[in-house]
Amino acid sequence: MKRISSLVQLLALVSFGVNPIHFNADVHGNPLSVDGKTYEHRMTLHPPSEATFFLGGKYAKFHAIAVAGRVATVEFKLVVDGTEVFNSGLLKGKQFRKVELPLKDAQELQLIITDGGNGKGGDWAHWVDAWVEGEKED
């Protein structure tokens, strides 16, 4: 199991949105609770956000919880090798969707957050507990 946040540091990164990415805590240093459980690991972004990870066919599965910020209206998408494989639909104020995604021989994974079509004001959004697993031996 390898956290996506560690892939950010380890693997080449194509692009992020115009805003910085925040790891693991909000501006007040607080962890995030989702559905009654507290998570230490997350990436917090502001749309438009598009992060591309080169997986090189090394991983079997992707896991994450897509969580809208308190006053956000956003949409989360996952694109594998150019094909959209997950769309959260509109998520508002703390709504969330859990994602389990088989990767098979995926070369490239894109994590996308849009403004939900109503502007980006207040649109902080979180990829919580995001990791890939099933690392293959070279």
Q: Does 129 bind Ca ion (CB under 5 A)?
A: no
- Among residues 103, 116, 126, 127, the one that binds Ca ion under rule CB under 5 A: 116
The values of phi and psi at residue 31, to 5°, are: -75, 170
Q: Does 123 bind Ca ion (CB under 5 A)?
A: yes
Least CB distance to Ca ion at residue 118 (A): 5
CA distance 96 to 92: 8
The values of phi and psi at residue 116, to 5°, are: 75, 10
- Of 100, 71, 73, the residue nearest 85 (C-alpha): 100
Q: What is the DSSP letter of 71?
A: T
Q: 43 or 72: whose CB is closer to Ca ion?
A: 72
Q: Which x/- pattern over 61-80 shows residues binding Ca ion (rule: CB under 5 A)? A: ------------x-------
Least CB distance to Ca ion at residue 47 (A): 7
Do residues 124 and 72 touch, judged by C-beta distance below 8 A?
A: yes
- Which residues of this chain interact with Ca ion, rule CB under 5 A? 73, 115-116, 118, 123
